[in-house]
Amino acid sequence: MNDSPFCYQTIAELICGYKANLFSPVEVIESHLERIQDLNNHLGAFINVSEDQSIALAKIAEKKFLRNEYTGKLEGIPIGLKDLIDTYDLPTTWGASFRRNTFASDDAYLVKQLRKHGAIIIGKHNLLEFAMGGIDYNPHYGATRNPWNMEHFSGGSSSGTGAAVAAGMSTAGIGTDTGGSIRHPSSHCGITGLRPTHGLISAQGVLPLGKTADSVGPMTRTVADIGIMLEAMLDSDLGGCDYTSALDLTDLEEIRIGIDPCWIEGVSHKEVLFLFRKAIEVFRNSGAVIIDIKIPEPKDLGFLYRDIVNYEAYRYHRTIFEASGSSYGPEACRRMESGRSVTDVEYNAALIKKQELTLAASDIFSRIDVMISPTQVQTAPKFQERSTETNLCSTESRTEFSSSMGAFLGFASFTGFPGLTIPMGFDSLRLPAGLQIVGPAFGEKTCLQVGHCYQMATNWHEHHPDIAFKSA
């Protein structure tokens, strides 16, 4: 198998290498394409790959660097997209069987931004059907396996993006996060992922799941690369797009970090809790002030998820679903039925509850700069037998956030606040665990500062899975 060092270099390292003519974008893209060919049959991370165009664009980028004419922040960088983001040159399947050959008429706004900065869209990543969680495989495109252990799930719904970045198949990726779908796979795959403040990144050209909670964001190997991606994804004409210079902070002196110990200790698995306590000590040693807080009503979020997200998802899909529901997979059908059962009265009541939660959370951030928790209560679980899957979103069983698996994800999702996840170590099975950093609305800079300081003090983000097989 191709073990080229290019596959695990960061955006910043690749750009430096290009500028110094140590290697070329063509070498890097060819290396990534070879790795995708070697690994994708095993991991199921990509639905479609753009081979010829990626190489052609790499040749253009190579000439720009040789002539010192490069201008983009992502010039020659191989980036993959969750396959619900529109591209004119590759199908946008939404993870659905009936859209295998569906092309958008234009790129999504954020894709235009990436291309403007020279990014090479190397392919479209696998995902849970319509980005609907509560299941560990896509019934049409197969499961995405965790690069750290093939018997374990990569997380979802941005499953392929998490696996592809972790396995060195793309340098970075773009995912979406409604109930945790960037942070979940980032945590399970041992990478860095950011759910930005709701509305910060344009979702034009991106399939919605729950329009009042959806967020589009980057998934990378380091916090520094998250900053670069954010700057490229945002319209610089709007101002306030400098996220990388903020990473010059060398310590966390006087930064106030909030922790809800009862909540965290009540649901976290033993090994994850051990790693989290070690992370707290890293922050203490960096000068941060640790403050005990109480998160408002975390256990209500499951009902909010059903009454808001499933309601909104059904309203978006209603015409297609009512006409051809047989083309939807079993979990997507359950989501549709759940959303159809929610009344307008219940939906509006849930929106009021969401607003109350956001106000209460905003009050917390008057006393702290960020709050931290594990990203997930446990490391990646094994794939479940299909006959024993639990429906996580019906009205008759546990929901995504009333189940322990999503316990720490819902707070950022339903307040709309930014949530960053970074690697914080491994359990006894050598599976990665994530540390979540949540800030107030539009508090991405502080989240990145805190996360970057942690990564400067540790090396968990520098670990990569040992993938030893080769495709036939």
- Does residue 389 carry a pLDDT above 50? no
Q: What is the C-alpha to C-alpha distance for residues 71 and 231, in angstroms, rounded to an integer?
A: 14
Q: What is the C-alpha to C-alpha distance for residues 369 and 346, in angstroms, rounded to an integer?
A: 34
Strands, E assignment, 9-61: 46-49
Matching residue, tokens 């990473």: 247
Determine the pLDDT at residue 405. Answer: 66
Determine the pLDDT at residue 222. Answer: 98
- Does residue 239 carry a pLDDT above 60? no
Determine the pLDDT at residue 324. Answer: 86
44: left (phi over 0), alpha (psi -120 to 50) or beta: left
Query: What tens digit of pLDDT does each residue of 202-235 get?
Result: 999 999 999 999 999 999 999 999 999 999 999 6
Query: What tens digit of pLDDT does each residue of 26-39 get?
Result: 999 999 999 999 99
**Which residues, in sequence order, are bridge partners of residue 290?**
257
Instruction: Kindly report the pTM of this predicted structure.
Output: 0.94
Q: How far apart are the first and last CA of the chain?
A: 11
Nearest in space to 171 (alpha carbons), one of 240, 219, 213: 219
Buried residues in 41-65 as b, exposed as e (16+ CB within 10 A): eebbbbbbbbeeebeebbeebbebb
- How confident is the prediction for the chain on average, in pLDDT? 92
Cβ neighbors of 417 (< 8 A, separation 6 or more) are 197, 361, 411, 438, 439, 440, 441, 443
Determine the pLDDT at residue 1. Answer: 56
Percent of the chain whose predicted confidence (pLDDT) is above 90: 85
Domain boundaries, the chain: 5-300+347-462, 301-346
Query: What tens digit of pLDDT does each residue of 334-378 get?
Result: 999 999 999 999 999 999 999 999 999 999 999 999 999 999 999
Strands 46-49 and 78-82: unpaired
- Does residue 391 carry a pLDDT above 60? no
- For residue 306, what pLDDT band results from cuts at 50, 70 and 90? confident
- 10/238: higher pLDDT: 10
* Cα dihedral 331→335→340→346 (10° resolution): 150
Options 3.30.450.20, 3.40.50.880, 3.90.1300.10, 3.40.50.2300; CATH of 5-300+347-462 = 3.90.1300.10
Determine the pLDDT at residue 385. Answer: 37
The whole-angstrom distance between residue 366's C-alpha and the CA centroid of its chain comes to 27
Determine the pLDDT at residue 393. Answer: 38
Determine the pLDDT at residue 251. Answer: 87
* Cα dihedral 228→234→240→242 (10° resolution): 10
Q: Which of helix, strand or coil describes residue 179?
A: coil
Contact 46, 164 (CB under 8 A): yes
**Which residues, in sequence order, are bridge partners of residue 174?**
81, 218
Q: What is the C-alpha to C-alpha distance for residues 158 and 320, in angstroms, rounded to an integer?
A: 23
